[in-house]
C-alpha cells in the first residue's frame, strides 16, 4: 500500500555541513546534509530508480526492538528529484534480526523493472518483484543449504542470460558460498555450496565480478577477517586466489583502467581503505592504502569528481563521519577530510538524487535512527 510520509514519521531536517579545507592537490566537494528521521534503525537500504523515472528512489529496511523481539519492515520511498522523498510502501518482514545488511537492486525477472532483496530476509520473501508502482508484494524464496545468510549477490554465472543467486551463509561449520541457478520459471535449481572461511570469522562480505577474465561474471570474492578468497564457477570449491587479512567489506571495479576487475576493500586492522589490482587472471596485489584513522564500516564507489575514475566513499562509525577517498586513476588512493553525519554510520549509497550531474550520498545512521542525505557540489 502507498501511504503518505506524514503518517510514517520520516521527516527531513535541512542542515548545512561546512566544507572542509582540503590540500590544493585534492578536488573539493561540499555536502549539504538533510536528515531523515526514521521509525526504526536503518539496517539495509539502496537508492535506485524503482518507478521507471530517472530520479533515484529509496528502498529501506528498519528494525525496531520491542522487549526481546524485533520488528522489521521494508519501506519504499519515492524520490522527488531534490534529495527529498514522499509516499511509501511498507510491509513487515517478521520478527527476526538480519545479520546481512547489503540490499541488492536487480532486474531479476528481466521485465524492465528493478527488484529488491535483503540477505537476512530472503527466506522470508526478501527478493521482491517491482512493477513500477513502488509496491513490492511479490516475494520469492531463494534457497540455501542452511544457516544464517550474511550477504548475497545475483549474477549470470552460467552464461544463459538469467541472473543466478549466490549467498554467503554462516552455520556451525563455518562460512559457505551457496549457489542456486535460475531455472527461468521463477525458481531455482542445482543448489551447490563450498566452504570459504572458518566459523570464528568476522565482517564477511560477498562481491561478484569476472576476476579471471573468463568472460562471465562467474567469480565471487569473499572478504572477511580471515582474508580474501576468490572462487570461480563451476569449481567453486577450488579457489583461484587467496590472501590473508583481516579485511572488511569490499566493492569490485576497474580501479586502474586496464579492463580487469579490481577491488576496493576496507582493512579492519590498519583502519583504512586498500586498492587491490588484478593481473587479469584473478591474482590481486595491494597497490595503495588510504588511512582513515578509524574503522571503515562500508564503502561505495562512484566517480565523485567526474574525472573518469571511480572514487570511494567510506563510513567511519567510530567518528560518526564519512570520507571521500580519491582514486588517481591507477589505483593510488588519498583520503579527503571527514564529513560529519549521524550517530554510528554503517552504510552508504551513492547516486545523483537531485539530477544536477553531481554524485550525492545517503548514509544510514543506526544509533540515532536517521538517514543523512548528502547533496554534493564540486568546486
Q: Are 264 and 272 in contact (CB under 8 A)?
A: no
Burial environment of residue 235 by CB neighbours within 10 A (0 to 12, 13 to 18, 19 or more): exposed
- Using alpha carbons, list the distances in angstroms from residue 137 to 93, 141, 238: 11, 13, 39
Q: Where are the beta strands (DSSP E) in 172-271?
A: 174-182, 188-197, 205-209, 219-224, 227-232, 239-244, 247-253, 262-267
286 three-state secondary structure: strand
DSSP H helix total and E strand total for the chain: 0, 31
Q: What are the two backbone dihedrals, phi and then psi, of residue 258, each rounded to the nearest 5 degrees?
A: -100, 5
Burial environment of residue 25 by CB neighbours within 10 A (0 to 12, 13 to 18, 19 or more): exposed
Q: Is the peptide bond before 234 cis (omega within 30 degrees of 0)?
A: yes
Q: What is the DSSP string of 298-333?
A: EEEEE-TT-SSS-EEEEEETTTTEEEEEEE-SSS-E
Name the DSSP class of 120. G
Q: Are 347 and 101 in contact (CB under 8 A)?
A: yes
Burial environment of residue 238 by CB neighbours within 10 A (0 to 12, 13 to 18, 19 or more): exposed
Alpha-carbon gap, residue 49 to 59, rounded angstroms = 10
Cell numbers linked to 188: 531455482
Q: Are 183 and 189 in contact (CB under 8 A)?
A: yes
What is the pLDDT, as a whole number, of residue 8?
Answer: 42
Q: Which of 164, 58, 162 is nearest to 116 (CA)?
A: 58
Alpha-carbon gap, residue 116 to 129, rounded angstroms = 7
pLDDT in tens, the chain (379 residues): 333 343 344 444 433 333 333 444 566 777 888 999 998 999 889 999 999 999 999 999 898 887 777 788 889 999 999 999 987 799 887 766 555 567 899 999 899 999 998 766 555 557 889 999 999 987 888 888 777 788 889 999 888 999 999 888 888 788 888 888 999 888 888 888 888 888 788 878 899 999 988 877 778 889 988 889 888 866 666 677 788 878 989 999 999 999 999 999 998 888 899 999 999 989 999 999 999 888 888 999 999 988 899 999 999 988 999 999 999 999 999 998 899 999 999 999 999 999 999 999 999 999 999 999 999 887 6
Alpha-carbon gap, residue 276 to 206, rounded angstroms = 16
Both ends of the chain: CA-CA distance in Å?
Answer: 42
Q: Which of 221, 194, 193 is nearest to 205 (CA)?
A: 221
Neighbours of 96 (CB within 10 A): 16
Amino acid at each position: 500500500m502507498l501511504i503518505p510520509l506524514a503518517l510514517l514519521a520520516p521527516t527531513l531536517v535541512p542542515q548545512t555541513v561546512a566544507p572542509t579545507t582540503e590540500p590544493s592537490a585534492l578536488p573539493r566537494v561540499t555536502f549539504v546534509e538533510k536528515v531523515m528521521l526514521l521509525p526504526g534503525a536503518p539496517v539495509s537500504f539502496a537508492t535506485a530508480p524503482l518507478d521507471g523515472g530517472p530520479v533515484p528512489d529509496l528502498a529501506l529496511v528498519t528494525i525496531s526492538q520491542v522487549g526481546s523481539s524485533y520488528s522489521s519492515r521494508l519501506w519504499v520511498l519515492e524520490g522527488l528529484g531534490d534529495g527529498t522523498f514522499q509516499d511509501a510502501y511498507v510491509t513487515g518482514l517478521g520478527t527476526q534480526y538480519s545479520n546481512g545488511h547489503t540490499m541488492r537492486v536487480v532486474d531479476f525477472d528481466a521485465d524492465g523493472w528493478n527488484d529488491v532483496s535483503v540477505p537476512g530476509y530472503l527466506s522470508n520473501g526478501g527478493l521482491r518483484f517491482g512493477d513500477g508502482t513502488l509496491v513490492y508484494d511479490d516475494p520469492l524464496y531463494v534457497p540455501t543449504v542452511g544457516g544464517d545468510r550474511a550477504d548475497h549477490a545475483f549474477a549470470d554465472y552460467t552464461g544463459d542470460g538469467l541472473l543466478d543467486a549466490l549467498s554467503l551463509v554462516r552455520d556451525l561449520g563455518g562460512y559457505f558460498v551457496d549457489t542456486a541457478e535460475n531455472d527461468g520459471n521463477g525458481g531455482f535449481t542445482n543448489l551447490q555450496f563450498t566452504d570459504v572461511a572458518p566459523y570464528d570469522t568476522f565482517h564477511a562480505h560477498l562481491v561478484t565480478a569476472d576476476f579471471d577474465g573468463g568472460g562471465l561474471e562467474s567469480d565471487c570474492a569473499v572478504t572477511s577477517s580471515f582474508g580474501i578468497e576468490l572462487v570461480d564457477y563451476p569449481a567453486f570449491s577450488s579457489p583461484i586466489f587467496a590472501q590473508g587479512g583481516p579485511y572488511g567489506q569490499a566493492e569490485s571495479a576497474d580501479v586502474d583502467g586496464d579492463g580487469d576487475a579490481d577491488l576496493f576493500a576496507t582493512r579492519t586492522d590498519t583502519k583504512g581503505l586498500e586498492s587491490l589490482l588484478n593481473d587479469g587472471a584473478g591474482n590481486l596485489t595491494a597497490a595503495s592504502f588510504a588511512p582513515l584513522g578509524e574503522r571503515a564500516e562500508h564503502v561505495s564507489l562512484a566517480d565523485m569528481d567526474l574525472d573518469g575514475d571511480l572514487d570511494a566513499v567510506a563510513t567511519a562509525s567510530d567518528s560518526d563521519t564519512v570520507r571521500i577517498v580519491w582514486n588517481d586513476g591507477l589505483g593510488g588512493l588519498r583520503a579527503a577530510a571527514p564529513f560529519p553525519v549521524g550517530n554510528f554510520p554503517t552504510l552508504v549509497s551513492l547516486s545523483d538524487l537531485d539530477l544536477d550531474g553531481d554524485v550525492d550520498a545517503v548514509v544510514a545512521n543506526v544509533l540515532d535512527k536517521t538517514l543523512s542525505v548528502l547533496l554534493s557540489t564540486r568546486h
